[in-house]
Amino acid sequence: MPSLRSTTAAALRVVRRWPPVHAAVHALAVAMTRTRWGERFVRSVVGPEAQTDAQYRAWIDRYDTLTDDDRAAIRAHIDRLAQRPLISVVMTCWRSDLRLLDEAIASVRAQLYPYWELCIADDGTPGEAVWAALQAHAAAEPRIRIVRREANGGIAAATNSALALATGAFVAFLDHDDLLSERALYEVAAELDAHPDADIVFSDEDKIDARGVRSQPAHKTDWNGELMLSVNAVNHLTVMRRSLVEALGGVREAFDGAQDHDLLLRASERTGRIRHIPWVLYHWRWQGRQGSYSRARADQCAEASRRAVQEHLDRTAQAATVARVPGRQGWLRVRRALPEPRPLVSVIVPTRDRAELLTRCADGVLAATDYAPLELLIVDNGSEEPATLALFERVAADPRVRILAAPGPFNFAALNNLAAREAKGEVLLLLNNDIGVREPGWLGELVAQAVRPNVGAVGAKLYYPDGALQHAGVVLGTGGGPDRVAGHLYAGAAGDHLGAQGHLVLPRNVSAVTAACLMIRKAVWDEVGGMDEAGLAVAFNDVDLCLKVRAKGYDIVWTPYAALDHHESASRGSDLAPEAAARFAREVAVMRDRWGPVLDADPFYGPVFDRRFTNHRLGAPPDRAAPWLK
C-alpha cells in the first residue's frame, strides 16, 4: 500500500498543473513547516531543495546585485589593501563559440579589481576565426596575453601553455565559455589580504544559460578533504599561488578532463592553507551549444578523476581502492581496507528497560553484523521490567556481552564514560538502544574510517523507521530560538534524496555526528576526556565531544556506507517535554558559553544559509558581511 508521503508527492505533481490550486497548497505547506513534524513531512514530500530557481533569482536581485555605491566602496577598499597581488587568469580555448568566448573575456575585463592579466592559450583551433578574435582582444587590452599552439594537445597541455604566460603571484582558472562575477577577483584579493599565507582560494558557483539567467547555486563547504575523494567539491572558482602550481609541475596531461581535481589533490598534500569564499563568484555555462570538455567526454573525465583519487590515496599511504559510482557520472566510492589484525570494537549501549528496542539492537550487533572482534557493553541504568531482565540473562550467555550496572538518574554522558573505562577495545562505538541494523557491513565501514590517524570520530547514516532521513551529520548553530546549538542536516528528507551536491550520499567531513552511532578510538576519547557528565548530562554531549576532538586537530567523518535505523529518543522521550525543559535550557547555556563562536561559524555550513533550517535554505539576509563593509 502506498505511503502517505508517496501519495502526497504524486498528488503534488498533479496539483502543480493548476497554479491557483498550487498556490493554496503551497500556502498550506508553508504553514505546516512552522511545526517540527510538519517541516519534516513537507521536506520528505518536496525534497530537500531549499529554493526554486525563481526564488534564487529573487534572492540575487536583493542580495547579490551591486549598486554604484557598492562599486565605489569596493574600489576604495582595494586602495586600502596592504597587498594587491597580480592575479593571472588562465584560459584555454579550442573551437570556441566566439560569442561565448567574447563574453568570458569581457567578464575578466569588467573586474572591479584592476590588478589582473588574462593568459589565453588557443589549443590549435582549425581556421583563423578564433585566433583573430584573440588577437583583437589582445590589441584592445594590454593585460591580455595570448599564445597559439601549433597542434591540439588537450586541455591539460593547453593549460600549461597558458600558465607559461602567467607572471602573477596567483593564478585563477576560467573556462572559455564561463563567466566571472564583476567582484570575483576583488573578493579573492580581499581574502588574501585577510589571510596572506593562503595558497589556495576557492568560491561558490552557480550555472548560467545562454540568456544570462542564473540558477542552481552550489554553496560549498570549506575545504572538505573527505568529500574531495568522491567528487571535485572545489571547482569553480579556483585560485592558486603560482609558485605552488609550478612546484607541482603544472597540470598533468594524463588526467585530461580531471586535471583540476588531480591538481587540487596534489596541492592539498603540500599545503593546508586553503580558504573558501562563501559567495557565488563564478557562473558555469550550461544548456548552451558550446558544452565543456567534461560534458563532451564524460566517461573519460570520470575515469581520469578515479585515477587521480587512487593515486592520491597511494601517495599518502592510504590502503584503499576507488571505484566509480554506477549511474552517477563523476562520483566515486573509496573502499578502505581494514587493518590486520582487526581492532577489538567495544560497542557501548546505555539502556533502561524497553526490551523490544534493546532486543533489536543487541541481536543486530551480535547476529546481523559481519565484523569481528567485538564486545557488547550494555550499561543498565536501573532496568526493572521482567522482559528486560530476561533479555539480559539471554544475551549475557554470549561471551562477547557484559552487563554493567549503573543505577541512578539518567545521565547519558556518565553512562558512556563508565563503559569507556570498562571497555577492552581499541575502538569505542557509542550506540543507542533504539538502533536497528540494516546490513551486515556497517561496522566494518566505521572501523575503516576510525582507525585513520587523522580521523577523530565517525558517524553513520541513520533513518527513521518510515525510511525518512534522520542523521547525515550535525550542523552547528542551527535550530529554533535565539540560542541555537545544533541540528541534523536535512532531517526528515526522503531517504533516497541526494542532498545539495550529493551531501546525503557521499562521505564528507562534518563538525559533529550524533552519539546515537558514534565511533572513536579509545586513545582519542581519553585524550579529550570523554563526555562532559557534569554540564551536559543528556543533550549536546556528543556535539561537545566532537568539538573537543576537532579542537585537537582531528577530522570528523560522516559516511553513508554505514546505514542504520534509529527510533530517535524512543526510550527516553523528548528534550522539549516540560519536565526536561529546564535541564535542556541549562545545557544550551553550557554549549553557548563554551563554544559560542564555533557554533556560529560551522565550516561545513556557510554563512549564506538561514540558520533556522538545515536544508541549505538561503538566509534573507545572509549572515555574511561584504568585505568592503567590514
State pLDDT tens for residues 354-381: 999 999 999 999 999 999 999 999 999 9
How buried is 582 (Cβ within 10 angstroms: 0-12 exposed, 13-18 middle, 19+ buried)?
exposed
Q: Is the Cα dihedral 192, 196, 201, 204 positive or negative? A: negative
* Residue 630 CB partners (closer than 8 Å, separation 6+): none
Cβ–Cβ contacts within 10 Å for residue 589, how many? 13
Q: Which fold has domain 345-599?
A: Spore Coat Polysaccharide Biosynthesis Protein SpsA; Chain A (3.90.550)
Q: For CA atoms 435, 436, 439, 441, give the dihedral sign.
A: positive
- CATH entry, 68-291, from 3.90.550.10, 3.90.1150.10, 3.30.70.360, 3.40.630.30: 3.90.550.10
More confident residue, 415 or 294: 415
Residue 20 has pLDDT above 60, yes or no: no
For residue 572, give the nearest of 345, 347, 367, 415 by alpha carbon: 415
Question: Cell 563554551 identifies what position?
Answer: 594
Tell me the average pLDDT of the chain.
92
What pTM, to 2 d.p., does this model score?
A: 0.91
How many Cβ atoms from other residues are within 10 Å of residue 309's Cβ?
23
Q: What is the mean pLDDT of residues 21-45?
A: 56
| pLDDT mean over 34-54 | 60
Q: Which of 26-40, 438-452, 455-469, 509-523 has the lowest mean pLDDT?
A: 26-40
Assigned C-alpha cell, 560 = 553513508
Short-list 499, 553, 504, 545, CA closest to 525 = 545
Q: Which is higher by pLDDT, 373 or 17?
A: 373
Per-residue pLDDT at 258 exceeds 80: yes
CA distance 173 to 418: 54
**Residue-level pLDDT at 483:** 87
Domain ranges in the chain are 4-46, 68-291, 345-599
Least confident of 321-330, 341-350, 429-438: 321-330
What tens digit of pLDDT does each residue of 133-147 get? Answer: 999 999 999 999 999
- Report whether pLDDT(24) > 80: no
Question: Quick check: 21 pLDDT over 80?
Answer: no
- With cut-offs at 50, 70 and 90, classify the pLDDT of residue 479: confident
What's the pLDDT at 481? 76
pLDDT band at residue 297 using 50, 70 and 90 as cut-offs: confident
Mean local confidence (pLDDT), 487-515: 95
